[in-house]
């Protein structure tokens, strides 16, 4: 890719700027620049300064500015006047004022030169100070942008985590609500509002219904083919002082098919439960009564029955 002269100049100034250097300790001081402009350097110093000006565009710019100021001062200084020789003894009084008038322009030129050099040094110092301030401002701006980017990233990460936690909390609440609804509901159909007569009542005792053991013997409950509703009386083998009771009915595969909470014990130390044929077809079932003791759920009685229609 070819570059024109303007692009080459911009590239040189950008790549050799003092702000791109790690340290500006090698740059020329105001005193060295003033001596270089005045031509007061030896051969070694001139070579060293020339090498530095070739690699530092800022010092080269300051050198050109000081050079221009000196050239302007040299152009505005008056031409060197020709001094007049002193006259004889009789004209001594006239020669002295003329000599003072002759050397007055030299004093003015010297003052202008000193002023121009001081002005050049001041401009160079201000230029370097401005460059330093600009570099600090750029560094602060870069740091501020980095901090802003990091703050924005942290805010987005916090917002994302909050949304995930909120979604997880909603899902957990919905799952708990479903479980509570399933626990409170039963698989039995709604009770018929019409009364029923001749409802069979089966009285079960733990020792007669296979209480205890890993494989208790099931008590047979024989019902007529037209029976739909029947009642079981579950007697306890002894007194129990649990605060709350619950009933769990499982099939022969130990799968829970119905639960009843807030089971109430009668004054006769037993429990009653009404069951329908269409909900409990013929087969083997286990009825487990649990009591709440010291905040823990414990098995109180277990009954194994075989329904036959």
196 pLDDT band, cuts 50/70/90, is confident
pLDDT value for 42: 86
Q: Does position 93 have pLDDT exceeding 50, yes or no?
A: no
Domain with CATH 2.60.40.10 in the chain: 201-308
- Residues 218/305, Cβ–Cβ less than 8 Å: yes
Is the pLDDT score of 133 beyond 60? yes
287-307: pLDDT as tens digits: 999 998 888 889 999 999 999
Q: What are phi and psi of 281, to 5 degrees?
A: -70, 175
pTM of this structure: 0.38
Percent of the chain with pLDDT over 70: 72
Confidence of residue 213 (pLDDT cuts 50, 70, 90): very low
Which of these, 230, 234, 238, 228, lies nearest to 246 by C-alpha position?
234
Q: What is the pLDDT of residue 48?
A: 85
C-alpha 38/C-alpha 72 separation (Å) is 13
Instruction: Quote the tokens at residue 83.
Output: 């001094």
- Average pLDDT on 279-292 reads 93
Look over the chain and give the mean of its residue pLDDT values, rounded to a whole number: 78
Q: What is the pLDDT of residue 92?
A: 46
Mean pLDDT, rounded, for 201-211 = 72
CATH of 201-308, one of 3.90.1170.10, 2.40.30.130, 2.60.40.10, 3.40.190.10: 2.60.40.10
Within 8 A by CB and 6+ apart from 230, the residues are 199, 200, 201, 202, 221, 223, 274, 275, 277
The pLDDT of residue 56: 84
**Beta-strand (E) ranges in the chain?**
201-204, 219-222, 229-235, 245-251, 256-263, 270-276, 283-293, 296-308
- Count CA within 13 A, CB hemisphere, residue 181: 6
Q: Which two tokens stand for residue 241?
A: 């002082």
- Burial (CB count within 10 angstroms: exposed 0-12, middle 13-18, buried 19+), residue 220: exposed
- The string of pLDDT tens digits covering residues 35-86 is 887 778 888 888 888 888 888 888 888 888 777 777 766 666 555 444 444 4
């Amino acid at each position: 890719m070819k570059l024109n002269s303007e692009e080459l100049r911009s590239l040189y100034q950008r790549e050799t700027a003092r702000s791109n250097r790690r340290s500006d300790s090698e740059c020329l001081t105001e005193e060295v620049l003033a001596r270089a402009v005045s031509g007061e350097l030896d051969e070694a110093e001139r070579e060293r300064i020339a090498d530095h000006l070739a690699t530092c565009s800022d010092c080269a710019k300051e050198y050109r500015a000081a050079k221009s100021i000196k050239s302007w001062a040299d152009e505005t200084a008056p031409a060197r006047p020709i001094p007049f020789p002193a006259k004889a003894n009789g004209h001594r009084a006239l020669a002295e004022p003329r000599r003072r008038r002759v050397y007055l322009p030299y004093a003015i030129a010297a003052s202008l030169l000193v002023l121009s050099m001081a002005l050049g040094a001041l401009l160079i110092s201000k230029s370097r100070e401005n460059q330093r301030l600009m570099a600090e401002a750029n560094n602060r701006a870069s740091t501020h942008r980095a901090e802003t980017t990091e703050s924005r990233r942290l805010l987005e990460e916090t917002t994302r985590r909050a949304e995930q936690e909120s979604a997880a909390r909603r899902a957990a609440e919905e799952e708990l609500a479903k479980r509570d609804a399933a626990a409170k509901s039963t698989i039995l159909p709604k009770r018929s509002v019409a009364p029923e007569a001749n409802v069979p009542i089966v009285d079960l005792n733990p020792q007669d219904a296979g209480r205890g053991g890993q494989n208790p013997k099931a008590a047979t409950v024989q019902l007529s083919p037209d029976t739909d509703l029947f009642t079981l009386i579950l007697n306890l083998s002894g007194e129990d002082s649990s605060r709350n009771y619950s009933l769990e009915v499982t099939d022969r595969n130990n799968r829970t098919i119905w639960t009843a909470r807030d089971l109430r014990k009668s004054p006769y130390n037993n429990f009653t439960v009404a069951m329908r044929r269409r909900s409990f077809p013929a087969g083997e079932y286990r009825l487990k009564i649990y009591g709440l003791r010291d905040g823990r759920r414990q098995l109180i009685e277990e009954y194994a029955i075989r329904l036959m229609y």
